[in-house]
């Protein structure tokens, strides 16, 4: 095999939601105005993805966990099932299906990195309860996500992550050679991005919800309906842009249906 001994990065879809585009893009050109009071709303596909890195050193890292099979009840209790229905998920896309396709058990993953603890990223994290997998989140994300009482706050559902042993980082951290977790807060208390420097494919930068879509990136950037700290969010966008310019990175947006067609999507297809 030509790729034997190389680091392999596999990006996989992990369940598609639908939502009003306003949640993703507060775009003035789509706002109602006196001349345009009947503008149509956009009900758009919002895909999710996970990334598996099988490192040349033998370790495995999984980035995010997609959406849950029981979204209707779980998200219904948070009042969000109607806003983000997971109504376009093929059986093969659920995370447990993906792991089966890869012939992996949760415990085979050395590092589970959660970009943040929102309901469409951390939803399947409890699959790692009782394993030796290191579950990594940003320190401020953990603090914030455990700071409230009750079932949920915004798009954080406590039972998604409560009780898990969460290892935290508080600076940009290289987890494995050439694989770095970047702090890009703003969308939530501690949203992370993933930078993978690959020998053949170059640098890939997975932004998660720090950038939902190409339009979010601009320039100029367009903020989203859910932003914890707008000032930090704009700073994080420019941090991403700085790394993109320095490394000539390919920037992969968190929820872009348009971009999926331009990428190698696995399992079976991967970047080296």
DSSP structure class, residue 94 = S
Which of the stretches 4-12, 100-108, 177-185, 203-211 binds Zn ion when contact is defined by CB under 5 A? 203-211
- 19 forms bridges with which residues in the sheet? 44
| Closer CB to Zn ion, 9 or 224, in the complex | 224
| Closer CB to Zn ion, 106 or 254, in the complex | 254
Q: Does the footprint of Zn ion cover residue 138 (CB under 5 A)?
A: no
| Cis amide linkage into residue 188, ω under 30° from 0 | no
**Nearest distance, CB of residue 32 and Zn ion, angstroms:** 26
Question: Is residue 234 a contact partner of residue 221, using CB atoms and an 8 Å limit?
Answer: yes
Bridge-based pairing state of the strands 111-113 and 60-63: parallel
Which of the stretches 15-23, 52-60, 111-119, 133-141 binds Zn ion when contact is defined by CB under 5 A? 111-119
**Nearest distance, CB of residue 269 and Zn ion, angstroms:** 26
Structure tokens at 255: 């929820």
| Closer CB to Zn ion, 60 or 118, in the complex | 118
| Closer CB to Zn ion, 125 or 198, in the complex | 125
Give how many residues touch Zn ion by CB under 5 A: 2
Which of the stretches 52-60, 76-84, 118-126, 160-168 binds Zn ion when contact is defined by CB under 5 A? 118-126
Other beta carbons within 10 angstroms of residue 29's beta carbon come to 9
Which of the stretches 92-100, 117-125, 136-144, 230-238 binds Zn ion when contact is defined by CB under 5 A? 117-125
How far are the Cα atoms of 8, 122, 214 from residue 139, in angstroms, in the given order?
A: 28, 15, 28
Q: Which DSSP string corresponds to 251-262?
A: EE-TT-HHHHTT
**Nearest distance, CB of residue 39 and Zn ion, angstroms:** 26
Element (H, E) at 156: strand 156-157
Residue 160: which of 175, 142, 133 has the closest Cα?
Answer: 142
**Complete edge-to-edge strand list for the sheet that includes strand 111-113:** 8-20, 43-54, 60-63, 111-113, 134-138, 166-169
d(CA 107, CA 63): 14
Q: Which residue has the tokens 């030796």?
A: 132
| Closer CB to Zn ion, 203 or 232, in the complex | 232
**Nearest distance, CB of residue 271 and Zn ion, angstroms:** 24
**Nearest distance, CB of residue 156 and Zn ion, angstroms:** 9
Binders in 204-223 for Zn ion, by CB under 5 A: 209
**Nearest distance, CB of residue 227 and Zn ion, angstroms:** 10
Among 49, 98, 118, 255, binds Zn ion (CB under 5 A): 118
**Nearest distance, CB of residue 226 and Zn ion, angstroms:** 6
Interface residue list for Zn ion (CB under 5 A):
118, 209
């Amino acid at each position: 095999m030509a790729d034997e001994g190389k680091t392999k990065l596999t990006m996989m879809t992990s369940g598609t939601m639908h939502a009003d585009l306003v949640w993703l893009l507060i775009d003035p050109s789509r706002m109602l105005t006196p001349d345009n009071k009947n503008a149509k709303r956009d009900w758009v596909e919002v895909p999710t993805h996970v990334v598996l890195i099988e490192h040349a050193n033998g370790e495995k890292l999984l980035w995010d966990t997609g959406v849950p099979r029981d979204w209707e009840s779980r998200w219904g209790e948070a009042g969000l099932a109607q806003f983000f229905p997971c109504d376009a998920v093929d059986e093969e896309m659920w995370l447990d299906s993906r792991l089966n396709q890869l012939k992996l058990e949760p415990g085979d993953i050395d590092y589970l990195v959660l970009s943040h603890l929102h309901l469409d990223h951390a939803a399947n994290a409890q699959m790692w309860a009782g394993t030796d997998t290191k579950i990594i989140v940003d320190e401020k994300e953990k603090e914030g996500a455990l700071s409230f009482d009750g079932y949920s706050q915004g798009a954080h559902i406590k039972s998604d992550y409560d009780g898990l042993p969460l290892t935290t980082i508080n600076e940009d951290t290289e987890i494995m050679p050439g694989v770095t977790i970047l702090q890009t807060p703003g969308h939530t208390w501690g949203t992370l991005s993933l930078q993978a420097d690959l020998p053949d494919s170059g640098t890939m930068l997975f932004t998660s919800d720090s950038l939902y879509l190409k339009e979010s990136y601009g320039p100029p950037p367009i903020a989203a309906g859910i932003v914890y700290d707008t000032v930090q969010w704009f700073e994080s966008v420019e941090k991403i842009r700085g790394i993109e310019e320095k490394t000539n990175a390919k920037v992969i947006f968190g929820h872009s249906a348009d971009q999926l067609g331009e990428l190698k999507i696995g399992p079976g297809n991967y970047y080296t």
